[in-house]
Amino acid sequence: DIQLTQSPSFLSASVGDRVTITCRASQGISSYLAWYQQKPGKVPNLLIYAASTLQSGVPSRFSGSGSGTEFTLTISSLQPEDFATYYCQQLNSYPITFGQGTRLEIK
């Protein structure tokens, strides 16, 4: 199975900050990586797929990069509605796996 390790697991930041979350895969997954945002009590929301393609309707302050085993999700200027938990997910091979999550909180 492919393990995904996100860092950090917890992040405290302020509105307007630029933040980066990293996802490392235990083996190469090309660009078959997605990022989801989940707010408390809500279902996950797809942000980015194919490592860097923004899903329709997602604000342009979100961006993704990487390939192979190392990936990043960047939020260029944090907005109040961005405080949530973020998950990476690989769809390169079965079983489909998720990272453990990064909880982004207001400083």
Partner 1 sequence: EVQLVESGGGLVQPGGSLRLSCAASGFTFSSNWMSWVRQVPGKGLEWVANVNQHGSETYYADSVTGRFTIARDNAKNSLFLQMNSLRGEDTAVYYCARGCCCGGNCYAGLFDQWGQGTPVTVSS
Q: Site map for partner 1, 9-38, x if CB under 8 A? A: -------------------------x-x-x
Question: 3-class SS at 18?
Answer: coil
Question: Alpha-carbon distance 69 to 4, whole Å?
Answer: 9
Q: Taking CB under 8 A as the criterion, which residues in 36-95 touch partner 1?
A: 36, 38, 43-44, 46, 49-50, 53, 55, 87, 89, 91, 94-95
Contact call for residues 65 and 103 (beta carbons, < 8 A): no
Question: Alpha-carbon distance 56 to 61, whole Å?
Answer: 13
Q: Which residues bind partner 1 (CB under 8 A)?
A: 1, 34, 36, 38, 43-44, 46, 49-50, 53, 55, 87, 89, 91, 94-101
